[in-house]
Structure 1
Amino acid sequence: MCTNHVINSIFTDFQRNLDLEQDNREAIRNICKDISQVLREVTTILQVIHYNEDGIGPACVKARDLFEKAQEGYARLKEAVPDHEYFKYQEHWRSITQRYCFLIALTIWLETGILATHDTVAQILGISAVEKRCGFHLDIEDYLSGLLQLCSELARLAVNSVTRADYEKPVQISKFVMELNAGFRLLNLKNDHLRKRFDVLKYDVKKIEEVVYDLSIRGLLPAPDAAV
């Protein structure tokens, strides 16, 4: 009887922990759904860059407003994730955060033509840029994945810019993506997902180079002092 009592007590504790973990996962999933909804709105708004040059500025303003809304969601997410268990639940928000890194980096590039730093993206999301005892933070690998998604989107933008007779933007994109490509080549990527994404980058670079080359042979490149 004593042995049975001990075993029952142990397994009762196991069940209590399993129930608590399930409750945590359910709360995290619900918050992630809300954050994903905002993500879809930002994605839709920024699609204007591919067909309406005049709509880019207003789209960036709207995206900024939605990033603030996303920040509220991440604040709730931080509260829901138990201390020191960031990596236990990370897969729930990993792909969402990678996508936000991409959209934030795209917005900043459209506004300024420069790279959004890891610290800047973390600040916009309202989370720490540095891991503190497995606390909630912006994983560097998620940030890098977002930058690789950015390169693919800019390759698409380079092609669509030509269709609306904007011959400066492909040159600007080419310079920026080539610099990013050089930066990624300095990394020894051990993450399988990142390595696969990096393999796609060479095709993005090739696509952009072909656009610029085609403009060159057609004599449509902007004058050197006008190129960005």
Structure 2
Amino acid sequence: MNTQLDYINDLLEKDSELRDKIRDEVHDLDKKTRVMAGILNKLHSTPPDKVAPLLDSVRPIIQSCQKNSSALAEIIPPNQFWRWKDMWSFSLRNAIFSAALVEYMTSRTLISLEQVSATLGIDDAWKDKFALTAEDYLHALITLVNELSRLAVNSVTMGDFDEPLKISTFVKDVFAGFSMLNLKNDTLRRRYDSLKYDLKKIEEVVYDISLRNLHGAKAQEVTPDPTKSSE
């Protein structure tokens, strides 16, 4: 009996040690995602000609996430991916979101699952220990659309009337892609439903720009005269 209890106690101690190692690595990844989120939030108040340097400051941080991916893959025992996955899902989704936003702002395209895996240094050979699931990827894309709906509104405030039109085209394509998926995950399904509100918000911004014929206009051309009261 004592031998059996000792064996069980040894297993519990090993699990506790492994959990602590994973938590430390995830904590470091989480710190990086918070830094990236803070920098990327500046997009909402950055003129278009200053966006490139801002994105350049994020790329090295994204690259450094490869160390965390490699470390987690080394820590997790074989065939235990699903056992520990929940410990890093939130942080990984935030890292995917940052990579996706940088890719959109750079190339105006959607980063693929394979691209983001390569960007974060996630090797397919680790799939039984540490991998990027379609669910985590889709959650990050929904966060991307949430952020772009904010950017569409704030771009107008910055006097950039072309950005909302670009965002509208991109988000409509993403929404069309989501519409073809058979989403059975309740959380993912609820978050997908929120995309309809983001799309509506963006369409309202685009409609207002079109109605006022501001497409292609410069900020100074439409800046109201502060000495004149609004009608």
Query: Could you state the TM-score of these two structures normalised by the residue count of structure 1?
Result: 0.91
Contact 1:158 1:169 in 2 (8 A): yes
Query: Aligned to 2:8, which of 14, 29, 32?
Result: 14
- 3-state SS of 2:79 partner: coil
- The question of 1:168 aligning with 2:165 is answered no
Q: In the alignment, what sits opposite 1:117? A: 112
- 3-state SS of 2:110 partner: coil
Give the aligned residue type for 2:83.
K
Structure 1 residue 176, shift from structure 2 partner: 0.3
- 3-state SS of 1:99 partner: helix
Q: In the alignment, what sits opposite 2:85? A: 90
- Corresponding residue pairs, total: 216
Contact 1:43 1:103 in 2 (8 A): yes
Q: CA RMSD in A?
A: 1.4
The 1:151–1:41 alpha-carbon spacing in structure 2 relative to 1, beyond 3 Å, is same
Post-superposition Cα deviations, 1:154-178, rounded to whole Å, max 9, x if no partner, equal 0000000001111111000000000
Contact 1:32 1:93 in 2 (8 A): yes
Q: In the alignment, what sits opposite 2:64? A: 69
Contact 2:73 2:126 in 1 (8 A): no
The 1:140–1:40 alpha-carbon spacing in structure 2 relative to 1, beyond 3 Å, is same
Q: In the alignment, what sits opposite 1:210? A: 204
Question: Equivalents in 2 of 1:21, 1:90: separation in Å?
Answer: 14
Question: Equivalents in 2 of 1:104, 1:129: separation in Å?
Answer: 18
Structure 1 residue 130, shift from structure 2 partner: 7.5
- The question of 1:58 aligning with 2:49 is answered no
Deviating beyond 2 angstroms after TM superposition, the runs of 4 or more aligned structure 1 residues are 128-132
Question: Equivalents in 2 of 1:39, 1:45: separation in Å?
Answer: 10
- 3-state SS of 1:166 partner: coil
Query: Aligned to 2:95, which of 85, 92, 100?
Result: 100
Quote the sequence identity (%).
Answer: 38
Question: Equivalents in 2 of 1:115, 1:162: separation in Å?
Answer: 23
Post-superposition Cα deviations, 1:112-158, rounded to whole Å, max 9, x if no partner, equal 100100011000110035874x2321111000100000000000000
Post-superposition Cα deviations, 1:182-214, rounded to whole Å, max 9, x if no partner, equal 000000111122112101111100000000011
Question: Equivalents in 2 of 1:151, 1:129: separation in Å?
Answer: 27
Question: Equivalents in 2 of 1:67, 1:141: separation in Å?
Answer: 20
Q: In the alignment, what sits opposite 1:27? A: 21
Question: Equivalents in 2 of 1:10, 1:171: separation in Å?
Answer: 66
The 1:210–1:194 alpha-carbon spacing in structure 2 relative to 1, beyond 3 Å, is same
- The question of 1:78 aligning with 2:76 is answered no
Question: Equivalents in 2 of 1:75, 1:202: separation in Å?
Answer: 37
Contact 1:118 1:129 in 2 (8 A): no
Question: Equivalents in 2 of 1:128, 1:156: separation in Å?
Answer: 33
* Structure 2, unpaired ranges of 5+: 218-231
Query: Could you state the TM-score of these two structures normalised by the residue count of structure 2?
Result: 0.90
Contact 1:31 1:73 in 2 (8 A): yes
Contact 1:101 1:143 in 2 (8 A): yes
Higher relative contact order (CA 8 A, sep 6+): 2
Question: Equivalents in 2 of 1:162, 1:138: separation in Å?
Answer: 35
